[in-house]
Amino acid sequence: MSTAPRAVEHLDVLIVGAGISGIGAGRYLRTQLPGKSFAILEARAASGGTWDLFRYPGVRSDSDLHTFGYEFKPWRDEEAIATAPRILAYLRQTATENGLDAHIRYHHRVVSASWSSAQARWSVEVERADTGERLSLSAGWLFCAGGYYRYDGGFTPRFEGRDRFAGPVVHPQQWPEDLDCAGRRVLVIGSGATAVTLVPALAGTAAHVTMLQRTPTYVMPVAKKDPVANALRRWLGEERGYRATRRKNIAQQRAIWRFCRRFPNAARKLIRWVNTKQLPPGYPVDEHFNPPYGPWDQRLCAVPDGDLFRAIRKDTASVVTDRIVTFTERGVLLASGRELEADVIVTATGLNVQALAGLALSVDGAPVHLPDTVAYKGMMLSGVPNLAFAIGYTNSSWTLKIGLLCEHFCRLLAHMDATGAGVCRPEPRDPAMPTRPFLDFAAGYIQRVVDQLPRQGDRMPWLTSMDYHSDVRLLRTGRVDDQELHFEPAAAEVAA
């Protein structure tokens, strides 16, 4: 007796990831293209992405929530720099309010996706993270919303003698629930956003916290509460106040970034002056807070209400700038010959970046090698049909770009429906167009994998824009079709 093959479920759009980008993409699809079928596949057991994954003490945003939040949903909290639980509640409320809960499928990890030109669709292999079961789906479009780093582990460089240390060594991305640092000496290795968040959070109960950095980072205090934003909410109401604050903060972010890039020496002096005012008299500012690179060559670290500087003033935290030679039984030995003793060591040494949630792509049987592709409008890949991805800004709030990308994606799908197209594929008109790395960013976590990422071109629409106002023109008000984007008829027309 023969058994009929099980029908493969087909969706118009398959969204990979139920974090801030995936929830945003789902909302735009629901409101702008309500007739489209879609699902959001999430490998973990809960939504929220980064804001559910990270559990280390003090985890918070380093952008204001009036721009990091969605354009369509006001941020109603008084605190503009918010902790992870508040952000997570906001994201999950957004999903519920927009009817997305039923579209999210948990424990579904996308393993691979193969495009068939004959069928004009993606065949997607999925693994159930809870049962190990394998299943198949098909989709007209893939929307990769998994961010740009691996969730299964952060980056930790090789430290000589690490096994000699008697205490726990933890990475913030895998923070143990039962780790108690109260009354203990904590050594935090790193100087980025995670380190400057952890140090003041731990300093409240630890015996002492030391931030050990190889290279200083630019650190600036920001107000946890935005008094102008809260006043605008009272005067104009939630909706209008939020829109006004969002415009204000977008302009402010852009002005700061442009000032830093145009006048790096003046920006460096201004940041140093602010740091000096925040630190104790006679503090060696140039040793610990004067990076060898220009402002915004890497992302500036924001500290709400100057909490890191306050911990240093209170002598519950300190900064050491040196290089580790080896771990010891009691701590770490530095190149200067000094030994830093600790009871707990935290390796806040960064992320492991991966593109497109690490899924394996192929087009008509040929594997897609990302460094051979060029990013179109910062959201599609040359030679890869019906694939979009969401990467936000590195020089301002991530979500500002995600919203524009989602809008453009929905406009593109509507255009295809109106013209009868079923397939679109970006291809540069000039095959000899010069290319450069997709992200022009000096941060170590990017530089470690830059040769594994797509490229960008030297002209629009192949440039990866990091300017919100340019992207408004390109993605919100600009045409969705151009001579670099090739459309083909729907599958039924192809077969005919």
Helices 238-262 & 264-278 angle (0-180, nearest 10): 110
pLDDT score at 1: 42
Bond into 437 cis (ω within 30): no
pLDDT score at 310: 97
Each residue's pLDDT tens digit, 299-331: 889 999 999 999 999 999 999 999 999 999 999
pLDDT score at 121: 96
pLDDT score at 171: 95
Count the residues in the chain: 496
Question: DSSP string spanning 13-46?
Answer: EEEE--SHHHHHHHHHHHHH-TT--EEEEESSSS
The pTM (predicted TM-score) of the whole model is 0.93
Judge contact between 26 and 186, C-beta under 8 A: no
User: For the chain, which ranges sit under pLDDT 50?
Assistant: 1-4, 493-496
Each residue's pLDDT tens digit, 237-277: 999 999 999 999 999 999 999 999 999 999 999 999 999 99
3-state helix, strand, coil in the chain (%, to 5): 35, 25, 40
pLDDT score at 494: 40
* Strand 134-144 versus strand 380-381 pairing type: unpaired
Question: DSSP string spanning 133-156?
Answer: -EEEEEEEEEEE-S-SB-SS----
Rounded to whole angstroms, the Cα distance separating 296 from 17 reads 29
Q: Which backbone phi and psi does 374 adopt, to 5 degrees?
A: -120, 135
Q: Which of 357, 356, 484, 391 lies closest to 430, judged by CA?
A: 484
Q: Which of 62, 317, 357, 286 lies closest to 187, judged by CA?
A: 317
Judge contact between 454 and 375, C-beta under 8 A: yes
Sole residue written with tokens 């933890």: 170
Mapping DSSP to helix (H, G, I), strand (E, B) and coil, where does residue 406 land? Answer: helix
Rounded to whole angstroms, the Cα distance separating 89 from 73 reads 13
DSSP for residue 476: I
Q: Which of 88, 102, 84 lies closest to 26, judged by CA?
A: 102
At a CB cut-off of 8 Å and minimum separation 6, what does 278 contact?
221, 306, 309, 313
pLDDT score at 492: 52
pLDDT score at 384: 97
pLDDT score at 446: 67
Judge contact between 210 and 188, C-beta under 8 A: yes
Tell me how crowded residue 56 is: count the other CB atoms within 10 A of its CB: 21
At a CB cut-off of 8 Å and minimum separation 6, what does 171 contact?
153, 154, 156, 346, 347, 348, 349
Q: Which of 74, 318, 319 lies closest to 216, judged by CA?
A: 319
Rounded to whole angstroms, the Cα distance separating 377 from 459 reads 10
